[in-house]
Structures are given as C-alpha cells and as structure tokens.
Amino acid sequence: MKTDFLNDLNEAQQHAVAHTEGPSMVIAGAGSGKTRVLTYRVAYLIRTGVDPFHILALTFTNKAAREMKERIMNLVGMEAKNVWMGTFHSIFARVLRMEGNRLGYTSNYSIYDTQDSRNLVKAIVKELQLDNKVYTHNFVHHKISIAKNNLISPVDYNQDPDIITADQMSGKPQIGAIYNIYNNRLKKADAMDFDDLLFNTYLLLRNFPEVMIKYQRKFKYILVDEYQDTNIVQYNIVKRLAANNENLCVVGDDAQSIYAFRGANIRNILNFKKDYPGHALFKLEQNYRSTKNIVNAANSIIKNNQKQIFKKVWTSNDEGARIHLLKARTDTEEGSLVVNSIFENKMNNRMGNEAFAILYRTNAQSRSFEEALRKLNIPYRIYGGLSFYKRKEIKDLLAYFRLAINNKDEEALNRVINYPARGIGKTTIEKAVVAAREADKSMWDVIGDPDKYRLKVNSGTRQKLQDFSMMIRSFTAMLFSKNAYDLARHIAYSIRILKDVSEDQTPEGISRLENLDELLNAIKEFTEDSDELSGEEKKKEYRTLDEFMQDVALLTDADEKDKENRDHVSLMTVHAAKGLEFPYIYVVGLEENLFPSIQSLHNRADLEEERRLFYVAVTRAMVALTLSFAQNRYRWGNLTYCEPSRFIEEIDNQYIEHPKKVHIPGMGNETPKKASFQQGVTPLDFKGRNLKKLSAAARSDDVPPGDFAIIDDLQPGMQVEHQRFGQGKVLQLEGYGGSKKATIFFQSVGQKQLLLKYARLKIL
C-alpha cells in the first residue's frame, strides 16, 4: 500500500496526517512528534496524488527544513525535492526574485544582513548630524525592524500621531526621518533588508491581485511549522495565500510561544478557530521524550496560564527521578553546586559530557558556571552567544584594564582609544601609527606627547589625545592604591561605558549592560575572596586589578585549549534551547526578578510568556531535571537578597525533591557527601534511544561522540577521515536525524556502516 508508512504513527498522529482538506490546527505538546507529523503529512499528500510543486511548507530554521525534506525523501523518493519547503525568508526571497520588478527591484537585488543594515543607519545618523549616543544604530534599526514586522511603512510611520508623539517624548523625534532615508537608500542600492523580504511579499500580495491569485493557485496546500512564533506580517502573508483553497495546516504549541520580543504574536494561534471556524483540531499529547515526573511537573506549571489551548500531555515512559532543587547561598556557590552535580552524575551514571545542559535566563549568568566547570576540567561550549570573556562589551572594558596595567599594550589601545566615542577619528589614529613607526616608539608615546613626535593634528584633536592619555595615566596611578573592584568600578564609570550601553534599550543592549554588571560582580567576588590565596598573598591588604587580569588571561587561554573538544557540557539561554533535548537539564537562577524577569512582572501577558519560557526549559529534559537558585546575588557590586522564583512553588510537590545539604570542597559545608544530588537516576530507554548504550558509546574508543553539525554537511562521494579507520569515501547515506547512517569505504579496513551520531567524521 502506498500509505503503509502511516503505521509508523500513533493514532492521534495518523488522524492529523490524513486529514488533508480544509483548515486544520495541530497542537503538539513538547516531545510529541510534531516534526514527524509535518514530515508524514507532506509525504502523505504526495503519495495520494498531490503534485509536490503545489505544496508550500514554511519553517523557522533552515536546519528544520533540511531535515524535513530529507525525511520526506526517505518516504517518497526524489519527488520531495519539488516541494516548496524552507524558512519564511528563504521562500519569499525566491518569490521576490521573480516578482520584485513590480516593486521596482531587479531579480539580482541584494539582501542586507543585520550588520549591513546597522551600518547604513549609522551613516545616516552621521549625515543628519544627530547625536549618535541618542540615535544609536542598534536602537534605531530595532525600531525600524519592529515597524516593518507590524506592516508600518515609512509613510505610515511619519503620519501616525501616536508614533510621532512617542518618539518626541523619548527624545528621538528624528527616527521617522531616518526610517524614510534608510528605505530610500535600500531602494537606490537595489537592496532589501531581512524584514523587507516579508514586508515586500505582503505588498506584492496586497497591491497586485494577479500575483496573489497566481500563488494561491500554485500553493494549493500550505503547512506552517511553529505557528505560535509567527508575527503580524507572516500571519497576513499566510492568510492571503490560503484564502482561496483554505487547505492550511498549522502546527505548534501555544505553551511554547516565547518570542514576543521578536514580534511573535501568540494571538495568531489562539485565534485560529476564529479565522477558520470550520477547522479541524488535532492534539498530540503523548510525550516520547521525558519521564512521567518531568511531564507531570511541566503540566502543573503551564496550567497556571489563563490564555491557552487546553491539552493534557502524558507519557508511557518510566516514572523517573523527582525533580531536584538546589539552594545556594550565592551565585558563585550555585555554580559549584550545579557543576559538582554534573560531575557526580557523570560518574554514577557513566554519561558523557554531551548528556548535560545548563540553561539560564540571561547570557550574563554563564560566568559562575564557566568558572566552576574549568575548576573541574569539564569541557563546555556556550551556545547562542560567545564565551563570557569574549563578548564585545566585556573585551572593551577589559581592554581599559589592560591599558591601565600596561600603557604600551597597543591592541588594547587601538580597541578603546575612540570607544566610547571621544572624537578621535580613524585618520588621527592612522597618523599616530605612522608617527610611532617613524620615531620607533609606541603609539602610546605619540598620543601622550603629540608635539614631540610632530603629529599633524588640529588643536582640538591634540587636546582630546592628551585628555585620553591623562585619564589612562590616572588609572595606572591607582593600580596599587585601590583594590581590584574599586578601581574597576572607577574605570567603568569614568569612561562612560555603562552610560553608553544603557542608552540602548533593545534586548541586545539590555543584555550587554547585564554582562558588564556581571563582570563587575566577578571582580567584587575576586576582591573579597581570600580562600584561594596562598599564605604569602594573604598578608596583603587587598587584591589588585592586575591579579584579576592575570586570572582572566589564564581562563581565556583555557578556552582556546578546549575549543576543539567535542564532548562538552552545553550552556545556553532557555530561548536558545527551544527545540533541543538533553538527558540531564539544569535550569539555574530561579529567582524573582531574574526568572521571571523583572520586566515581565508588569502585566499578565508578559508573566504568562515567562511561564511558557520556564515550561520550555523543563520540557528539554529527558532523564533528570535539576532546578537551582541563589539566596544572594551580586548586582552592581552589592550583595542582594533573592527570593526563590514563584515558578518553583507552582510545581506540584509530589514531583519535586527539596534541597539537601551537600559537601562542596572549599565551601565550608561539612555535610557528608553521601547526600547525593541525583539518587536513583538511571538512564532510560526511550523509543529506540537507549541512553545507557549512548553513554557506553560515549566512552568507547570505537565510536566516540560525534560533531552533530557534520551530519547535515555530509554527502555521498565526499572524502572523510575517521579516528580509528583512517581515510575513506562516503558511498551511501540513509536514515535521518540521530538515526542517520553512512556506508563508507575505508582504505585500511574496507567497507563499514557507521552511525553518524557517534562517528566523529572529519570532511577532508
């Protein structure tokens, strides 16, 4: 039978796949096989006679689109290549290549990425002679992006009295003018930014009925993944394209709608029943990922949201361990508790590092966990962001510290001489470099005494150079008269970096300010912590900034050594973790004003989004879940008392195990070590994913854990290298995702079939 593959699905999944006509909504609980349903639905359409050229499948990531297309090909063959499948941006960029001439673009238009767009904004602000500290390019670009995603054109923006008033009250009345010039420049350059790919598609469908009819006839069946994450412009495009046939299937989970800050509108999924009164509703409620305790705990959390589509997620997996709660005295102790728990779980359950993930609300929280992982020599990787000490704002402030310690540190000097902006331009810097080379002196010598080295600059610039030099010298003079924290704080405020970053109220800007706060907190702890000092060092009155910088230099050096290690603990924000799963999950920093975020406490809608974010974090766990919080946390150099998150209280008591005191070396806690963090946790077998075998594979020399990213890149005919078998040629690929296998002919041992998940192949 041509649709025998439906036997691979459970009953609810089969119904969702086979109902192809008319509007339908599939509410897919966490770990319930959402991608599987989308994949099989497309395959079912093709097998039942639908031309794949008439199928449009929209996703949010290219990776998801590639994996789905690959799975469909395994089910129905090469016909799957003809499906219009991809991200919203990639699909509609194709449409605009063909139809964009109607809007005044050629088929070869350029696409500006975020940095291109921000550079253009920066140039316009400069041309208009506006204050770039008020009109920061990040903030202005963010405002333009929000406008486009809400279908507000430059004309609409500049004619809307509410928008105009809001900009005037915020002290930025020229944003509308910048937006207008920005769009005109894009048009003159035959370019679109990322937001234009959707905005212009909407304009095509709205302004050219013949284009809308053409694509309504073309896309007879439309599928949308992660529908809860769609914004206003995406919603309107889909609604117009589906208006004729209404063969629209949206798949998502309102309980995992966590991207409002990007413009996602949860009302799109909640109001689907109003948009399509005759729709069919399917609920995928069986979870294949997690233990009963984790699934039930997640249910007890999300039931507190008022606005939701009710579902009862369940699982036939084992009961599993109860959720563990770790209570720490400080954020530093929290890092040690969590990492010691990871170490103990590794030993007790014989798991590899890749089985563990630490999830936090903000990137700034990574520091204490990074440092604790380094102390136990556990390799880790930061996902969705740079390692803490490699983030731009951190490197900027550290460069000032380096320059105060060593005035001739030219790399540090080049980085900060005009940041924050102080009117020392690129031409001046280039002249200083030339003068230094001619005199065989350092650049620092030249800017400190421009007349002596005949630096040809005007009197105003000369004064700015001398002011900068004097400021740095004043920092140097305080190096041994102030402790590390007092000097670091003095430098941070003197150079105005905190003020500069705080001007940017975009999500990125707020994150950067939090990171700077966390750096100062780290220095505060370093200054006050005498436990790790040697006897000789303890004789000193205080620890100084040069000592802290030496520690940092060693830590970042260790980062480089761990860079190639693929067996690592994963660290990421909860937002970055969406769509992923790990046997062992640690959700950290569960305190009021942190998780939930202080910005979410002003209204119910924001608080419910925070609760959905916590739900996402909990449902990433397969085997065991640990939650942690600190009773005290440093904020802007002050140790502040923290209240445990309300989300902890919302978990039904029968699913959670409350803290036990555990001995942490060096923490002064003398509780016997037998009080285990994860008593009774054992790897479970989940529908073909035997975690006990996985951990054994992770320890085996034959099949070390592989680089998961390489799976997508591998193609037949490629030359590869295996750690044990040497060089070989890929003959065939079969399967998909974690089950994908490769048949490879190795020169040394002949033909082998390897599971790519563990093969650790290197493409030559």
H/E run at residue 267: helix 267-270
CA 156, distance to chain mean position in Å, is 32
Asked about 679 being catalytic, the answer comes back as no
Is position 702 annotated as part of the catalytic site?
no
Distance between CA 515 and CA 365 in Å, rounded? 8
- Measured CA angle at 563 (ends 561, 567), to 5 deg: 105
Of 176, 229, 135, 133, nearest to 499 by C-alpha is 133
**Contact predicate 757/694, CB 8 Å:** no
228 flagged as catalytic:
no
If DSSP states are collapsed to H, E and C, what string results for 480-507? CCCCHHHHHHHHHHHCCHHHHHHCCCCH
Find the catalytic residue in 99, 225, 254, 370: 225
Cβ atoms of 332 and 309 closer than 8 Å: no
Q: Is 35 a catalytic residue?
A: yes
The residues pairing with 110 across neighbouring beta strands, listed in sequence order, are 191
For residue 75, count other CB atoms closer than 10 A to its CB: 19
Q: Which segments within 393-466 are labelled E, that is strand?
A: none
CA 367 vs CA 76, 341, 389: distances in Å: 48, 17, 8
Write out 627-644 in H/E/C secondary structure: EEEEEEEEECCEEEECCE
Pairing mode, strands 24-28 and 280-284: parallel
For the question of residue 573 being annotated catalytic, the response is no
Given the residues 311, 346, 612, 620, select the one marked as catalytic.
620
SS (H, E, C) 389-418: HHCHHHHHHHHHHHHHHCCCCHHHHHHHCC
Q: Which two tokens stand for residue 133?
A: 């500290």
* Residue 226 annotated to the active site: yes
Helix (H) or strand (E) segment spanning residue 577: helix 574-577
Please give the Cα distance from 607 to 639 (Å, whole number).
26
For residues 565 and 380, what is the distance between their CA atoms, to the nearest angstrom?
Answer: 8
Both tokens assigned to 340: 């010691």
Return the number of other C-beta atoms located less than 10 Å from residue 735's C-beta: 16
Given a contact cutoff of 8 angstroms between Cβ atoms, the answer to whether 473 and 479 are in contact is no
**Selected catalytic residue, list 67, 70, 167, 226:** 226
Residue 377 neighbours by CB distance under 10 Å? 9
Task: For residue 221, give both structure tokens.
Answer: 């069946």
Encoded amino acid at 202, one letter: Y
Q: Which two tokens stand for residue 638?
A: 């002050």
Contact of 157 with 149, CB cutoff 8 Å: no
What separation in angstroms does the CA of 98 have from each of 106, 474, 654?
A: 9, 62, 59
* Of residues 522, 517, 511, the one with CA closest to residue 551: 522
Could you give phi then psi for residue 113, rounded to 5 degrees? -80, 180
Among candidate residues 14, 59, 87, 256, the one labeled active-site is 256
Inter-CA distances, 266 with 18, 126, 247, 301, 605, Å: 27, 38, 22, 18, 10
| Residue indicated by tokens 């670009």 | 141
Query: Which position among 14, 34, 506, 740 bears the catalytic label?
Result: 34
Angle value at C-alpha 197, between 195 and 198, nearest 5 degrees: 75
Q: Which of 3, 20, 35, 743 is catalytic?
A: 35
**SS3 category, 27:** strand
Helix (H) or strand (E) holding 281: strand 280-284
- The DSSP string of 71-94 is HHHHHH-GGGGGSEEEEHHHHHHH
CA angle 432, 437, 440 (to 5 degrees): 120
Question: Residue 432 in 3-state DSSP?
Answer: helix
DSSP alpha helices (H): ranges in 30-127?
Answer: 34-47, 62-76, 88-99, 114-127
- Three-state DSSP class for 309? coil
Catalytic residue positions, numbered? 34-35, 225-226, 256, 620
